[in-house]
Amino acid sequence: MMTGIKKRLLLIEDDNVDQMAFRRFANTNEFEYDYDIAGSIEEAEILLNSNTYDVIVSDYFLGDGIAFDILENMKHIPMVITTGAGDEALAVKAMKLGAYDYLIKDIAGYYLDMLPVTVANTINRFKTEQELIMHHENLEIIVAERTAELKNEISERKKTEKTLLKLSTAVTQSPSVIVITDLKGNLEYVNPKFTELTGYTSEEAIGKSANILKSGDQPDTVYNELWEAISSGKVWLGEFHNKKKNGEFFWESVSISPIIDEQGVAINYIKVAKDITEHKKAESELISAMKKAEESDRLKSAFLANMSHEIRTPMNGIMGFSELLKEPGLSGEKQQAYISVIEKSGMRMVSKRSGTPTKIYGYDFTGSISG
The reported pLDDT for the residue numbered 4 is 60
Average of per-residue pLDDT values in the chain: 83
Mean pLDDT on 281-295: 82
- Report pLDDT digits (tens) over 90-122: 777 777 778 888 888 887 778 899 999 999 999
For residue 299, pLDDT beyond 80: no
Under the banding of pLDDT at 50, 70 and 90, the label for residue 270 is very high
Look at residue 263 and tell me whether its pLDDT is greater than 80. Answer: yes
The pLDDT confidence band at residue 358, using thresholds 50, 70 and 90, is: very low
pLDDT of 351 reads: 53
Cα of 95 vs its chain's centroid, Å: 61
The span from the CA of 298 to the CA of 110, in Å, is 138
pLDDT digits (tens, 9 = 90+) for 120-129: 999 999 999 8
The pLDDT, as a whole number, for residue 366 is 45
Q: What CATH class is the domain 285-365?
A: mainly alpha
Q: pLDDT at position 2, please?
A: 45
pLDDT at site 303: 66
Distance CA 105, CA 92 (A): 14
Q: What is the CATH number of domain 7-134?
A: 3.40.50.2300
**CATH architecture classification, 177-275:** 2-Layer Sandwich (3.30)
Listed in order, strand segments (DSSP E) in 128-234 are: 177-181, 187-190
Provide the pLDDT confidence category of residue 252 given band limits of 50, 70 and 90. very high
The Cα 55–Cα 115 span in angstroms is 12
Mean pLDDT (whole number) for 334-363: 60
- Asked if 178 and 185 touch (Cβ cutoff 8 Å), the reply is no
Q: How confident is the model at residue 86 (pLDDT cuts 50, 70, 90)?
A: low
Domain range annotation of the chain: 7-134, 177-275, 285-365
pLDDT band at 186 (very low <50, low <70, confident <90, very high): very high
- Mean pLDDT, rounded, for 182-192: 94
Q: What is the mean pLDDT of residues 181-207?
A: 94
φ, ψ at 90 (rounded to 5°): -65, -40
Task: Please answer whether residues 187 and 194 qualify as being in contact, where contact means their C-beta atoms are separated by less than 8 angstroms.
Answer: no
Predicted local distance difference test score (pLDDT) of residue 1: 41
Q: How many CA atoms lie within 13 A of 51 on its CB side?
A: 19
Residues constituting the chain: 371
Lowest mean pLDDT segment, chosen from 17-21, 52-56, 69-73, 233-237: 69-73
When pLDDT is averaged across residues 317-324 and rounded to a whole number, the result is 70
pLDDT surpassing 70 at residue 7: yes
Q: Distance of CA 59 to CAs 13, 25, 40, 246, 365, Å?
A: 6, 17, 10, 104, 146
